[in-house]
Amino acid sequence: MITSAFGVLFDGFAYGMLLFLLSVGLSVTLGMMNFVNLAHCTFGMIGGYVTVTLINSFGWPFLATLPVAFLAAAAFSIVCERTMFRRLYRSTDLDQCLLTIGLVFVSIACTAYVYGTIQQPVQLPDYLRGSVQMAGITFGVYRIFLIVFALIVTGALVATLEYTRFGAQVRAAVDNQRMARGLGINVDSAFAITFALGSGLAGLGGALAIDIVGLDPSFALAYLVYVLIVVAVGGLGSIGGSFVAAMLLGISDMAGKYYFPAIGSFLIYLVMISLLMWRPAGLFGKRV
Amino acid sequence: MPRIMTGLACLAATLLAATSAHAQGTVKVGAILSYSGQFADTGIQLDNGIKLYMKQHGDTVAGKKIEIVRKDNAGIAPDVAKRLAQESIVRDKVDILAGFDLTPNAMAAADVSVQAKKFMVNMNAATSIVITKSPYMVRTSFTVAMVNEALGTWAYKTGSRRAYTLVSDFAPGHDGEQAFQRAFKEAGGEIVGSARYPTSNIDFTAFIQRAKDANPDVIYIWTPGGTQPAAIGKSIAERGIDKSKIRIVGQGELAFEEALKGMGDAGLGIITAFHYDYNHQSPTNKAFVEAYNAEFKRNPDMFSVGGYDGMHVIYEALKKTNGNTDAEALVNAAKGLKWESPRGPMSIDPETRDVVETVYIRKVEKVNGQLVNVEIDKIENQKDPSNARMKK
Amino acid sequence: MTAPSPAIAGPHQYLETQIRWRVIEILFWLSTLLPFVLAPDYLVLASQVAITALFALSLDLILGYAGIISLGHAAFFGFGAYAAGLTAKWGWGEPITGLAIAGVAAGLLGYLMSFIIARFRHLALIMITLGFGLLLLEAANSAGWLTGGADGLQGVRMWPLFGMFKFDLYGVTAYWYALIVLFVLFLVARRLTNSPFGLSLRGIRENAVRMRAIGAESRPHLRKIYTLSAVMAGIAGAVLTQTTETVSLGVLDFQRSADILVILILGGAGRLYGGIVGAIIYLIARDQFSGINPQYWYFPIGVLLIVVVLFLPNGILGGFAQLIYSERGQRWFGWLTGPLRRGRKS
C-alpha cells in the first residue's frame, strides 16, 4: 500500500507543479500591482491552443511548441495590458474583476468559434509516453518530464528574483510600491515585464496541461478557481508561497481521492478555508 | 382569476389549433439540447443527426412543414430545461418536444410534457426511469441498464470472475454500477470492490490505483465521456495495468472516437458494450456515415444516431396520424414502430414506449493504422431490464 | 437613489430627503406590471427576472452598502431553494409558509457564516466566500439521498396560492408571486438603507477603522446585514423552486454566484435599483442572444462587460445618474427625480 501511495503522491506532485506554473504569474502580478487579473487562465488557454495548432496543423514536434506557447501568451497579454488593463490600475478590485471576466467570456466564445467545443487531442512524442518502473512503483514518463521542467523553471525564476537587478526591483515593488517609486525604480515598466512573464508562464502551463487535464474552451474559467486558491493560500507576491500552496493542493486532492474517495472533492475547499482562516494573508503573504 | 382563465383559454386554443390537421400548417418541434458548455459537443452531434435526417427526407411530412425550434440548455440544468420546455410551448407554440441529451433535463421537461400534453421524443437521456415520467414520451437512444446488464452477463460468460467497478458519481453512473454488478453477480461472479469518482474529476490515478490494488480480473468503468475517457486510458497505462490479465470493460463512451485519439495506443484492448459505433459494418450505416461526413466533416456517434432515429420516429408517427399532432395519437402511432437504423434493427416497445435494439460488444483494435471499435459479439433484441422487472 | 442634495443640516435631514418616493421610482414599479399586458407569453422569463432581481438586491446589501465582496452568495440562494423544495416534497406545499421556512433556514446559515465573514477582508474574504459556496455545492452533490444529486429534487408539488391560484404553465401566478415578494423585500431594504443603520454600513464600507474610532462597532453591523442578506437570497431561491416546481444543483454553483455579481455591477452597486436593472438587462439580453446563436452568447456579454467597465464605471445606473443629475439633466428631468412633496418643506 505504501508503494502505491507513493505513486499517487508522485502524481499529486506533478499536478501541483502544473498548478504552480499556471498560478505563479498571477501571484506575482497581484502582489506587485494589486491588479486582479481573472483572465490569467485565458492566457493559459491561448498557450494550449497554440501548441495544439502547431502540432496538429503544422506538424511541429511537441517540445518545440513550448517556447512558442510562452511567447504567444506573453505577447497577447502585453496587448491586453496596453489597451485595457492599464486604465484600471487605480480602479477597485471589482472593476478589475469585471473587465477581466468580460475578457474571459470573449475568449471562450472566440475559441469555441474557431476550434469548436470538442476536446483537443495532442499527440505526445513517443519518448514522453508510457511509464517507467522504479523500486516497484510505476512513474508516468510525462509526469516526470513535467516535474523536471517545472523545477527548472522555478529555479530560473528564483534565480532571477534573487540575483538580478531586475529581480531586486520586482521584490522592492512587491514589498512597498510607493517606496520603490520614491527610490526611482520604474515600477510601471517592471510591472509590464513581470506581467508578460507571468502570462507567458501561464501559457506554458496551459500547453503542458493538455495531456493531463485536456483542453477545450471552458479551460479559461474552469481552472480559474484552482489558480485563485493557490494564489490566496500561498500569499500574494510570493513564489515560494505559490509553490507550497500548489503542492499542498495537488497532493491533498490526490490523497483525498485515494484514501477518502467519498469526500475527496471536499478536501481542497476545507483545506483552503482552514488555511485562510488561520493565516488570512496566505502562507507566505506579506499583506492581505 | 380572470387571467388564469385567459391563460387556460389560450392554452386550449393553442391545443385546438395544433390538433386541427388540415392541408396548410407547420409542425414545430422544440429541440432542447446543450449547445454550449461542457456537453456542447453532444448537443451539436445530436442536432447534426436531426439536420441530416431532414436533409435526406425533406422537411415536409403528411402535408405539414417541419420546423425545428432550438433552445440551449447549456449542460445539466433541470430548472432551465423545464423553463425552456414551457417557453417552447407557450411562446413558440411547439407541438412536439425533442432532444434531451441529459437525464436531469429530460426528467424536468417530462413534467411539462404531462402538463401540456405534448408528444416527447427523448433522443438521448439514458436512465431507465426517465421513460416513466410522461405517458407521451418515447425514447430512441438506449438505457444504461440495458447495455450494462448485457455487459455484466457477457463478462462472466467469457471468463471473468472477480470484478471491480468504478463509476461516475451521479444517476447514470449509479445505474451502470447497479446494472453491471447485478448481472455479473447473477451470472455467478464476485464483486471485489467498487468506488465512485466525482463527476468533474480530472485525474484518475488514485482511483485506478485503488482498483488495481483490489486484485480483480476485470475492471468495469463507467464514464459519461468528455475529457474523462482519455484521462482514464492514460492512467491505466501509467499504472501499468496489463490488459491481458485484467480486462478493462465499460460502456461505449469509454472508447469513443475522441477518447481513442486522446488515449493513443493505451486504449488498445479496451472492451465496451454499446448500441452504436460508426464502424458498424452494415450497408445502412455505411451510407449514413458517408452522408454524415460529407455534410459535417466528422464521424457520427451515438448522439447523432439518436437524433437521426428520433426524427424518423417523428416523421413516421406523423405519417400514421396524417399530420395530427395530438399527443395521444402520436404516441400510439409511435408504439410498435420497427425499422432498420444505421445502428442495426430497432423498434419502439409498445408497452414501455422504450427502445428495443441490439447491444454490441466491441474491442479496441488497430485497423489500417487507426484505433477503432471492432465488434466481437452481439446480443439482440435488448430491452430495458429494470422497467421490465418493475412490471413483474 | 443617492442624489447629491443641496446644503443639508445633518444626517437626519439627509435621510428624510432620501426616503421620499420619487416619480421615477413610481413609474418604474408601475412598468413592472406591463409584461402582463404587453408580453403575456414571456411571463416565465419575467418571473425569472424578478427572482434574479431579488437575489441581486440581497447581494447589493452586502456589497454595495457594506463593502463585503462575496463570490459564493449562491450558497444562500441554493440553501433557501432546497429548503423550500424539501418542505414541499415532504408534504407541506403551501407557498407562503414555505417561503418563510426557507428564509429562516437561509438566515440561520447566514448568521453562522457571518461570524467568519466579519473577521476577514480583501482576498482572504473573497476566497473564503468562494470556498464556502463550492463546499456547499459539493455537500449537496454528495448528499444525493437528500437533494437528488445531479438529477435534481423530484416530487416538488406546490399547492395553489391562497388555495386559488395554481402555478400554471403560462407563469401568470408565478410572476405575480415573484413580483410581490420582490416589492415587499425591496421596501424592507429601502427602509433599512435609508436609516442610520444604513449610513453606518456605508461608513464601514468606506473606512472600517475610522468607524470604530467614532464608536460604531463594525462587526455586529456586518453580521446583521449579512444575515439579512442571506434571508433575502434564501427567499429568492425559494421563489424559484416554488414557481418552477423543481430544484437542482445549479442553484448552488459558482456560475450563479458569478452571474449575480456581474449583474449587480452591471446595474450599479449601492443604488438598490442597480441589481434590478442589471437583472432585467442581463437576462433579457441572454434570452435574446441565446436565441440567435446558442453557442456563442458569451461573446456579446463579454463585450458588454468590458464596455461597461471601461466607460460606465458605476454601472448603468451610475451612468444614468450622471446624466440626470447634471445641470442639463436636472432641467429636463428634475421632475422625475425630485422627492414627492407632501406639503412639508425638506
C-chain CB neighbours of A94 within 8 Å are 69, 265, 269
Per-residue pLDDT of chain A (288 residues; tens, 9 = 90+): 566 677 778 888 888 999 998 998 888 888 777 788 889 999 999 999 999 999 888 888 888 889 999 999 999 999 998 888 888 887 777 778 778 888 988 998 888 888 876 777 777 777 777 777 777 677 778 888 888 998 998 888 888 888 888 888 888 887 787 888 898 888 888 888 888 988 999 999 999 888 877 788 878 877 888 888 888 888 887 888 889 999 988 888 877 777 776 676 677 788 888 888 888 777 887 655
Task: State pTM to two decimals.
Answer: 0.81
| Residue A204, amino acid | L
The predicted-structure confidence for C28-78, as pLDDT tens digits, reads as follows: 898 889 888 888 888 888 999 999 999 999 999 998 888 888 888 999 999
B-chain CB neighbours of C152 within 8 Å are 78-79, 104, 107-108
- Enumerate long-range contacts of C204-207, CB under 8 Å, 24 or more apart: C204/C66, C204/C67, C205/C65, C205/C66, C205/C67, C206/C67
Nearest CA to A268 among A226, A206, A213, A218?
A226
C-chain CB neighbours of A272 within 8 Å are 127, 131
Alpha carbons B138 and B121: distance in angstroms, whole number: 5
Quick one: pLDDT at residue A228? 86
Q: Is A117 on the interface with C (CB under 8 A)?
A: yes
Closest-CA residue of B relative to C298 is: B36
> Pairing state of beta strands B218-222 and B162-168?
parallel
**CB-closest option in B70, B87, B108 to C246:** B108
Q: Is A93 on the interface with C (CB under 8 A)?
A: yes
User: How far is CA B290 from each of CA B71, B284, B285, B286, B299, rounded to the nearest angstrom?
Assistant: 28, 10, 8, 6, 8
Q: Are B37 and B74 in contact (CB under 8 A)?
A: yes
Quick one: pLDDT at residue B56? 93
Quick one: pLDDT at residue C156? 85
| Residue A280, amino acid | P
Best mutation target, C305, C307, C311, to test chain A (most A CBs within 10 A): C305
Closest-CA residue of C relative to A35 is: C123
Q: Are B92 and B30 in contact (CB under 8 A)?
A: yes
- Which partners does chain C have (≥3 C-beta pairs < 8 Å)? A, B
Which residues of chain B from 186 to 245 reach within 8 Å of chain A, CB to CB? 195-198, 200-203, 205-207, 209-210, 212-213, 226-227, 230-231, 234, 237-240
C-chain CB neighbours of A266 within 8 Å are 135, 138-139, 142
Task: Measure in Å the smallest separation between the Cα of B114 and chain A Cα atoms.
Answer: 34
| Residue B92 burial (CB count, 10 A) | 15
- Which partners does chain A have (≥3 C-beta pairs < 8 Å)? B, C
A-chain CB neighbours of C126 within 8 Å are 232
> Pairing state of beta strands B344-348 and B338-341?
antiparallel
DSSP SS3 for B28 = strand
Closest-CA residue of A relative to B197 is: A261
Task: Measure in Å the smallest separation between the Cα of A14 and chain B Cα atoms.
Answer: 11
Task: Measure in Å the smallest separation between the Cα of C308 and chain A Cα atoms.
Answer: 8
Alpha carbons C216 and C212: distance in angstroms, whole number: 5
Alpha carbons C123 and C199: distance in angstroms, whole number: 25
Which residues of chain A from 172 to 191 reach within 8 Å of chain B, CB to CB? none
Q: Is C310 on the interface with A (CB under 8 A)?
A: yes
Quick one: pLDDT at residue C92? 87
Cα C94 off chain centre by: 24
Quick one: pLDDT at residue C230? 96
- Name the DSSP letter for residue B95: S
Cβ of C135 within 8 Å of Cβ of A229? The answer is no
Quick one: pLDDT at residue B9? 44
Cβ of A273 within 8 Å of Cβ of C135? The answer is yes
Q: Is A264 on the interface with B (CB under 8 A)?
A: yes
| C-alpha distance across the termini of chain A, in Å | 41
> Pairing state of beta strands B218-222 and B247-251?
parallel
Which triple of cell numbers denotes residue C168? 400554471
A-chain CB neighbours of B196 within 8 Å are 261-262
Which triple of cell numbers denotes residue A169? 526591483
Q: Is residue B12 predicted with pLDDT exceeding 70? A: no
**CB-closest option in B1, B7, B169 to C168:** B7
Best mutation target, A84, A266, A273, A284, to test chain C (most C CBs within 10 A): A273
C-chain CB neighbours of B168 within 8 Å are none
Q: Is A8 on the interface with B (CB under 8 A)?
A: yes
Task: Measure in Å the smallest separation between the Cα of B340 and chain A Cα atoms.
Answer: 30
Q: Is A118 on the interface with C (CB under 8 A)?
A: no
CA B223, B227, B230, B236 dihedral sign is negative
The predicted-structure confidence for B69-123, as pLDDT tens digits, reads as follows: 998 887 778 878 888 899 899 888 999 999 998 888 998 899 899 989 999 999 9
Cβ of A102 within 8 Å of Cβ of C295? The answer is no
| Residue C26 burial (CB count, 10 A) | 12
Please give the average pLDDT of every successive group of 10 residues along chain C, which has 346 residues.
Answer: 58 74 86 87 89 95 86 93 93 90 95 88 80 88 81 83 81 91 94 84 75 76 92 95 87 84 84 90 81 66 82 77 77 73 48
Cβ of A254 within 8 Å of Cβ of B205? The answer is yes
Q: Is A265 on the interface with C (CB under 8 A)?
A: yes
Q: Where are the alpha helices (DSSP H) in C42-94?
A: 43-60, 74-89
Cβ of B205 within 8 Å of Cβ of A7? The answer is yes
Which triple of cell numbers denotes residue C270? 449601492
B-chain CB neighbours of A257 within 8 Å are 197-198, 201, 203, 206-207
Which triple of cell numbers denotes residue A47? 498557450
Quick one: pLDDT at residue B21? 35
Q: Are C131 and A230 in contact (CB under 8 A)?
A: no
Q: Is C135 on the interface with A (CB under 8 A)?
A: yes
Quick one: pLDDT at residue B4? 44
CA C3, C6, C11, C13 dihedral sign is negative
Quick one: pLDDT at residue B388? 66
Which triple of cell numbers denotes residue B115? 402538463
Best mutation target, B36, B202, B205, to test chain A (most A CBs within 10 A): B205
DSSP SS3 for A109 = helix
B-chain CB neighbours of C169 within 8 Å are 7, 11, 86, 89-90, 112, 115-116
**Beta pairing partners, B338:** B347
A-chain CB neighbours of B231 within 8 Å are 212-214
A-chain CB neighbours of C254 within 8 Å are 225
Task: For C117, list phi and psi in degrees, rounded to 5.
Answer: -60, -40
Closest-CA residue of A relative to B211 is: A258
Best mutation target, A22, A119, A226, to test chain B (most B CBs within 10 A): A119
Cβ–Cβ pairs < 8 A, chains B and C = 108
Quick one: pLDDT at residue C291? 62
The predicted-structure confidence for B160-200, as pLDDT tens digits, reads as follows: 899 999 998 877 888 899 999 999 999 999 999 999 887 77
Nearest CA to B263 among B304, B220, B222, B234?
B234
Cβ of C310 within 8 Å of Cβ of A93? The answer is no
Sequence-separated (6 or more) residues with CB below 8 Å from residue B206: A8, A11, A254, A255, A257, A258, A261, A264
Cβ of C130 within 8 Å of Cβ of A270? The answer is no
Closest-CA residue of A relative to B235 is: A140
Closest-CA residue of C relative to A80 is: C306
C-chain CB neighbours of A30 within 8 Å are 123
Quick one: pLDDT at residue C344? 42
The predicted-structure confidence for C64-101, as pLDDT tens digits, reads as follows: 888 888 888 999 999 999 999 999 999 888 899 999 99
